[in-house]
Every structure is written in structure tokens, then in C-alpha cells.
Chain A
Amino acid sequence: MEDILNKIAHCIEFGKINKQSPYPPDMKDMDGADELTKQALNTGLSPDDILKKALVVGMEKIGVKFRENKVFVPQVLMSAKAFSAATVHLKPHFSNGSIKRKGTFVIGTVAGDLHDIGKNIVAMMVEGNGWEVINLGTDVKTAQFIEAIKQHSGCILGMSALLTTTMVNMEKTVKGIREVFPDQKIIIGGAPVTKEFCQKIGADYYSPDPQGAVEMLNKLVA
């Protein structure tokens, strides 16, 4: 049993999506995250175990390697794709409650900002760590963030900005959210964003890297 979970974790860590996928070259023609997750469910492993003992393990490993500059954006995107291929099989179990998640994380880029690679990597890492992720996409207005917070009571909110011109919108958005939800937990990120900026605009947390965001979120529900 443990063997297949380790294999799935390995596929996630190294970005092996499915049998057809040529990447990584040393796993050519081998089953990927897609096939192995299906097999794991068929052998009776619990969806919760598959998530926590395989998918989360693989995503955590790639997250740490990314923070330590041992892998780069392309490899993380491959892992995210492998993770998605695996979660397709777990989706029904999310909705029927057989998988318990750590919480809900709502994320989007702020108004005016269309740059979403970094934001999507954070979303994948957080989801891969056992959270439900509501990805609002790009150019998200304050009203849309507020509406999402209403719909997902108790969620933690993440927002990103890549540009100095949209950092201004981040400040406005945080202010707008605070007027309706003064205690809403907000975590921010993006290339020009800093800890000082986070304090200045009244957000709660800042992380310079995706794995840091995951670790902060986990602390909040520990």
C-alpha cells in the first residue's frame, strides 16, 4: 500500500503526469500520477490517505526544492499538472466529505493585474497541501473578493500584485475588505511586495515564496 503512495508522491514531485507524458525522461513509459491514483483508489486506499500521504508529500517536496532554488518555475508547473491529473480522481470524494481539508483559501490578483503565473503556483501549492482553493483569477475587484469571503465563511484570503501600479489597488482592496470584514485574514505576495508594504496597507501576512505561504496558512489552523 505504502509503495503506491510513495510512487504517487514521486510522480507529483518530479512532474510525471501520466504514462504518455515524456517528462521526466527517466520515467518514460511508466505510469504517472493519473494512472497510479486511479489504481490506488481501486485497491481500496482511502481518498484521504491518497491526498495526505501522497499528493501533499509530493507537493511539499517540490515546494521546498523551489524555495531552495533546486528546481525552477517549469518544474513546479509540471508538478502542478501532475497534481491536477491526480486530483481529478479525488474530486468526487471532496464533495461527499470523505476527504477532510484544512480550510478554504480564496486567491486572486488585484484589480488591473493580469499576471497570474505566480498566483497560480501559490494556489496549486496550497491546494496540494490539503486546502480547498477558490481561485478567482486575475483583475479581481474588491467587490468580488468580498462576495467570495461571504460565500466561503472562515476562509483565508490571498492576493497578489506584480506591478507597482497595481500595488496601489492592493492597498485599496485591503481597505475595502476591512470595512466589511475587519478581522478577515489576508496574506499578500508578488514580486514588488514586501513585508513593510504588507504592514503599511494593513494586510496580515506576507510571503516571498509559495511554500512560505503554505506554512503560514498551516500555522493559522494548527
Chain B
Amino acid sequence: MNSRELFNLTLNHRDTGKAVIDFGATPVTGIHVLVVERLRKYFGLSDKPVKVVEPYQMLGEIDAELQQALGVDIIGLSARCNMFGIPNENWREMKMHWGQVVLVPGSFNTTTDNEGNLLIHPEGDLSVPPSARMPRTSYFFDAIIRQEPIDEEKLDVSQNLEEFGQVTDSDLLYWKNQLNSVKDTEKGVIVNFGGTGLGDIALVPAMNLKHPKGIRDVAEWYMSTVMRTDYVHAIFEKQTEIAIHNLTRYKEIAGDLAQAIFICGTDFGTQDSTFCSPETFNELYAPYYRKINNWIHKNTRWSTFKHSCGAVEPFMELFIDAGFDIINPVQINATGMNPVKLKEKYGDRLVFWGGGVDTQKILPFGTPAEVEDQVLRECEIFTPGGGFVFNTVHNIQANTPVENLVAMINALRKFNGEKTI
């Protein structure tokens, strides 16, 4: 049975007897570029600078060689432009402040501030102010808040919709080529078309726009969800309409090649609680999620992927009710996120994509033996009956020890009955 078939079975809650594996198929299941380089060295793969496929979090490309070494079953297809509105093309070398030479898109134009922090400019246009900053002691970017003074009388929904346009013919051509490049693949396929994330706080500052308008400050956005609910409803309503229009066109070219679709990365959980009440979720978000997910289920065979960090156990039933098939990253160390209970309560209705090993304590700071123990335990809990894709809890962060990653990979191989390294 090939990876594509395994992926299909697990999405349909059929027992495969194996942990289906993802590293790098989505922007929330990847590996930091520094760790990718170290893994390549460990496995003795070709010596080359690693492509930064998602520069906001500095995720490195998991190419075919590394996919094979890691046992990856799923590949992901992503949009033409990155989070900063820069096309992923004309790759060139760039030296990062931690000494690593990486590959970035040709228009990845940066400047530095007087403290030596790296600044990236939207669309690579140096004539406009930067939209994100990477401190010189950090390993990835964070948004620079560019909030114009808010005049409540003049707030216009279209300002918060600038980044959600209808798909163009050239975008469709790009996607056709992307899909064509994997048409004979034996791996599972998830598509990240974009545009379906409602109120994703990482996207609110619109780091891809040169002059973002509307509500762009993170705290102001959170307050808008209680203070300007009509405005937020109007954004979601229009965004949903655009998204369904675009999905109609994507469906024509992706058909059954895509097996899953990344819908939304909005975090509803904190370490110990949630960002809103279940009532707010049902009132403000669920109607639009339901509309998008229902359209997908009616018109395609794609499974719908929801990412939300944190203690979201109280929201699992609501996610299911809103039409989500997959939940990620399954933050098993957050309050109430007990893997056994999650599997018992929701395992026949939700695919757990993640939850394979904790990335706040065990993977970065634990011993290889602790990593192996946890990976084996989580696989034993989540794999029976299908509905599980192994991934760490969110992206693997910079400076995660390679020996712990090797322990993770060996545990996976052991679980899947394969030869260890």
C-alpha cells in the first residue's frame, strides 16, 4: 500500500496499522530551516543551502531526499507568494545572523535597523516601511504592527478584505502547474490555497500589504471580536463568499488529486484556556466555517483541516459541528488535552494531525529516551482505528537537538515495523 492510499484510509478513519507521517506539508507542520540543514547533514544528504519555503516562521524545504529519510507520506502544495507577498521564485543565497546560508526568493529584500534586527518589506518593496522584524537573537519574524488611527465612522469592511481577492487566471495557471507536478505521486496531497482563514491572528497584520488599512493591530482585532462584532461578521461574510467563489475554480483543477485542504489557522486556545467562549465561537465563527466546509463536502472529496493551538478540548465538538474533519496541532500538554480522552471522545469523527510529541518540553529539552517513549505512546493511542497523521505539536523549532529528532524518527520506524537508523 502506498502513502497516498494510507493517507486516504486514515482520513476515513480506517485502521492502517501504521502511523501516517507528515513533516512539511503545511505551514504549521514544518521544520525550521536550521534543523532541516542539520538533519540533512545527519542523513548525509546532498550538501546545499536549504530553501526557506515559509519565511515568517523560517521553515525549510523538506525535499524528496529528506522526505524519504523522514518517512514522509504527505506532500503539501502552497501558494505562489509567501506571507510577505513575495513570489517563491528566482532563489538566491542569503546568510542569516546565526551563520547559516539559506535560499530565499529573489525579491526577498531586507534592511536592518540600528540594533541589527532584520526587517522585511512587503512584496520586497524597499520604498515602503517594513512589515516584519526578526530580532538578531531570534530565529524567525514577527509582524510589525502598522495600524492607522481608527476612525469608527470611517471603518470600511473592504479595508480588511484587501488581501482576500478573487483568484486570478495567472494564479490558477500556477496552481495547475503545481498540481500537475504531483499528478503521478504516490504520496498523499494536501492543498494550501489560502483565503479561508477567518480572523487568523498571524494574518491580521497583513504583512503582504504595503499599506494595510482597517483593523490591523493584534490587540485591537481581539477587542473587535467583542466591540465591533457587526464589522467582523461583515468581513467574514464577504470573505466566505470570495472563498467559495475561489474554491469553485480550484475544484475544477484539483479534483480528486487533493485529498485534504488547509482551511484555517485561527488559534482558539491558550496554554490553559480558550480565546473566546463556546458561545462566541458558535455565533461569530461557526456559521462561516460551516458554509465553507459544507460547500467542500458537497462538491469535493477533500477533508477539511483546522489548526488551533492550545487548550481547545471544549471546542472539539464545535469544530466537528462546523464541518471540520481534521484538527491540528493537538497540543497534548495544554490543559484538558489528554490524548486518551481526545481519542475516546472524538477519534471516530476527527482526524488528529499532530500530537505526536510535545514541542514545548520533551522534544527541545528532553532526552532521546523521553522522546522515544512519548512518540511510541502517542502512536499507540492515536493510530488504532485510523484518523491520525503523525506530526509534532506544531513546527519543529530552531535548535531542537538532532539526537532527539533521530529518536523521534526511530520511534516512528519502530512503531511502523521498519528498520531503525
Contact = CB atoms under 8 A, between A and B. Distances in A.
A21 B227 contact: yes
Nearest to A69: B273
Interface in A149-174: 163-166, 168-169
A164 B137 CA distance: 13
Interface in B333-366: 359-361, 364-365
B227 A165 contact: no
Contacts of B277: 72
B138 A191 contact: no
B315 interface: no
Interface string A72-106: 11110110010000000000000000000000000
A132 interface: no
A81 to B, nearest CB: 7
Nearest to B141: A114
Interface residues of A, number: 33
Contact of B274 (A69, A192, A194): A69
Contacts of B225: 74
A205 interface: no
Contacts, number: 80
B interface, over-half SS: loop
A77 B138 contact: no
Given A22-B227, A78-B223, A114-B138, A72 B273 contact: yes
Interface string B133-152: 10101110010000000001
Contacts of B133: 114
Nearest to A71: B277
Nearest to A139: B135
A100 to B, nearest CB: 30
Nearest to B363: A164
Interface string A161-205: 001111011000000000000000000000110100000000000
B219 interface: yes
A19 interface: no
B360 A112 contact: no
A73 B275 contact: yes
B359 A73 contact: no
A222 interface: no
B135 A72 contact: no
B274 A72 contact: yes
A113 interface: yes
Nearest to B32: A165
A23 B138 contact: no
A16 to B, nearest CB: 11
B135 A112 contact: yes
A129 interface: no
Contacts of B226: 15, 23-24, 74-75, 78
Nearest to B274: A72
Contacts of A73: 222, 270, 275
Nearest to B132: A114
A115 interface: yes
Nearest to B359: A164
B94 interface: no
B321 interface: no
A163 B137 CA distance: 12
B399 interface: yes
Contacts of B182: none
Contact of A192 (B138, B219, B276, B360): B360
A120 B277 CA distance: 21
B397 interface: yes
A209 interface: yes
Contacts of A115: 142
Nearest to B310: A191
A210 B265 CA distance: 26
A163 B218 CA distance: 18
B272 interface: yes
B223 A165 contact: no
13 contacts: A22-B227, A72-B275, A74-B227, A74-B275, A78-B223, A111-B135, A111-B137, A114-B138, A117-B222, A139-B138, A165-B398, A168-B399, A208-B271
